[in-house]
């Protein structure tokens, strides 16, 4: 069997630079924000999610749902494929929280179809005192080769905006009864740590399903971090569920070739023999600061009320894990670190090779 290299989860959201979330205020009937996507598979969309920042006064009805997209303009057509009309109140649109809305009419998509996730001021009273603020996107540089897709578009206060031209992390999502496509996340946390921090280890807990692999090895990780000092030092550690150290490598900032810049780079273990790992088994890969006086790394940690692992194919576990020293791990299923596993030897279930693709992150229209 030919050797296969894969990045799992494929195209997990990562930043090459950071920006605060983009605010959009629905303030008159006809205003909307939209995320234009491409369907990776045939799907029946039953729910839409978004992040509501604020709500003032008593806005009228908000429609959330899925619209078709013009293959000529790349913009929403105004034709709803599925939607729900909701009173814009605290129950349906709680503030400073991601929210998931169940559609009254479901949207049926085919593989490769372009579609738009839309939140619109549909009817009733909207104005200067009756508004709702949402976030549309956050950050730039979300993984490689995603310079213009997916992208957002909006009409705010009756004025049409422009399609985004840089890679983004959208604050809108949708899903079927079993599969999530993107996550409506809270604003990201940005920080740094060193060996004296609590916690001083941050990383990803992962578990690959047997439906994807029968065995695999971890050559390293692709991640977006930036050591905060030219003399920073840190370790990359791979452990099993019993905290047995399987692989480790020490790094200096000179090896990382950046200082306090969130570049996406690959970091490899130096061991000559990689541990053979099994599916349906928990492992952790984490960065441990080893210098107490110098910052180890800046990082971006994304969070949501939705279990983050549900947004990635293949299925399995991919979420934030932290601990201090040799203490107990704290697993946060609603957050993740900007990491991808570099799989060096992948035995695919069924004996076939290939790259595993994450939904919604590959291909699309460029506007």
Q: Give 10-residue mean pLDDT values along the chain (367 residues).
A: 68 64 92 91 93 94 98 94 97 90 97 95 95 82 51 93 74 86 73 89 93 89 80 91 96 67 81 92 95 78 74 80 94 86 77 37 29
Q: What is the pLDDT of residue 191?
A: 78
* Placement of tokens 């704290």 in the chain: 330
Instruction: Quote the number of domains for the chain.
Output: 2
Measured from the Cβ of residue 292, the count of other Cβ atoms closer than 10 Å reads 11
* Burial of 96 from C-beta contacts in 10 A (0-12 / 13-18 / 19+): exposed
Q: In angstroms, rounded to a whole number, what is the distance separating the alpha carbons of residues 281 and 67?
A: 40
Task: Report yes or no on 270 lying in a domain.
Answer: yes
Residues 31 and 154 in one domain: yes
Task: Report residue 209 as tokens.
Answer: 């399903």
Task: Report yes or no on 355 lying in a domain.
Answer: no
Q: How many helices (H) and strands (E) does the chain have?
A: 1, 27
Q: In angstroms, rounded to a whole number, what is the distance separating the alpha carbons of residues 43 and 141?
A: 28
pTM of the model: 0.80
Residues 98 and 202 in one domain: no
Element (H, E) at 289: strand 283-289
Residues 176 and 195 in one domain: no
Task: Report yes or no on 12 lying in a domain.
Answer: no
Given 167, 184, 201, the domain boundary residue is 184
Q: What is the pLDDT of residue 345?
A: 77
Are the C-beta atoms of residues 274 and 247 closer than 8 Å to each other? yes
Q: What angle do CA 54, 58, 64 make, to 5 degrees?
A: 65
Q: What angle do CA 50, 358, 284 make, to 5 degrees?
A: 95
Task: Report yes or no on 99 lying in a domain.
Answer: yes
Residues 242 and 201 in one domain: yes
Residues 27 and 176 in one domain: yes
Structural domain harbouring 77 = 23-184
Residues 159 and 300 in one domain: no
Given 122, 153, 184, the domain boundary residue is 184
Task: Report yes or no on 358 lying in a domain.
Answer: no
Are the C-beta atoms of residues 38 and 360 closer than 8 Å to each other? yes
């Amino acid at each position: 069997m030919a050797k296969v290299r894969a990045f799992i989860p494929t195209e997990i959201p990562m930043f090459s630079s950071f920006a605060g979330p983009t605010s959009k205020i629905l303030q008159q009937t006809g205003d909307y924000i939209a995320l234009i996507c491409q369907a990776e598979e045939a799907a029946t969309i039953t729910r839409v999610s978004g992040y509501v920042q604020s709500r003032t006064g008593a806005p009228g009805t908000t429609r959330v749902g899925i619209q078709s997209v013009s293959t000529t303009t790349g913009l929403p057509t105004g034709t709803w494929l599925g939607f729900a009309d909701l009173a814009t109140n605290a129950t349906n649109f709680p503030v400073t929280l991601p929210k998931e809305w169940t559609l009254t009419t479901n949207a049926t998509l085919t593989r490769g179809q372009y579609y738009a996730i839309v939140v619109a001021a549909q009817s009733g009273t909207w104005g200067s005192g009756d508004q709702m603020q949402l976030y549309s996107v956050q950050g730039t540089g979300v993984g490689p080769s995603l310079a213009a897709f997916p992208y957002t578009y909006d009409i705010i206060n009756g004025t049409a905006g422009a399609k985004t031209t840089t890679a983004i992390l959208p604050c809108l999502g949708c899903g079927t009864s079993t599969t999530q496509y993107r996550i409506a996340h809270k604003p990201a946390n940005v920080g740094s740590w060193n060996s004296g921090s609590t916690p001083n280890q941050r990383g990803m807990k992962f578990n690959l399903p047997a439906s994807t692999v029968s065995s695999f090895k971890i050559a390293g990780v692709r991640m977006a971090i930036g050591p905060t000092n030219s003399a920073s030092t840190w370790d990359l550690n791979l452990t099993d569920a019993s905290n047995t150290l399987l692989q480790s490598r020490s790094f200096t900032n000179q090896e990382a070739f950046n200082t306090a810049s969130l570049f996406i780079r690959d970091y490899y273990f130096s061991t000559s023999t990689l541990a053979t790992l099994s599916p349906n088994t928990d492992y952790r890969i984490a960065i441990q600061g080893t210098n107490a006086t110098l910052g180890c790394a800046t990082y971006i940690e994304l969070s949501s009320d939705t279990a983050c692992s549900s947004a990635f194919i293949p299925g399995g576990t991919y979420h934030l894990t932290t601990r201090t020293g040799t203490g107990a791990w704290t697993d946060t299923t609603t957050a993740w670190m900007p990491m991808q596993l570099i799989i060096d030897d992948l035995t695919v279930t069924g004996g076939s090779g290939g790259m595993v693709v994450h939904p919604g992150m590959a291909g699309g229209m460029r506007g």
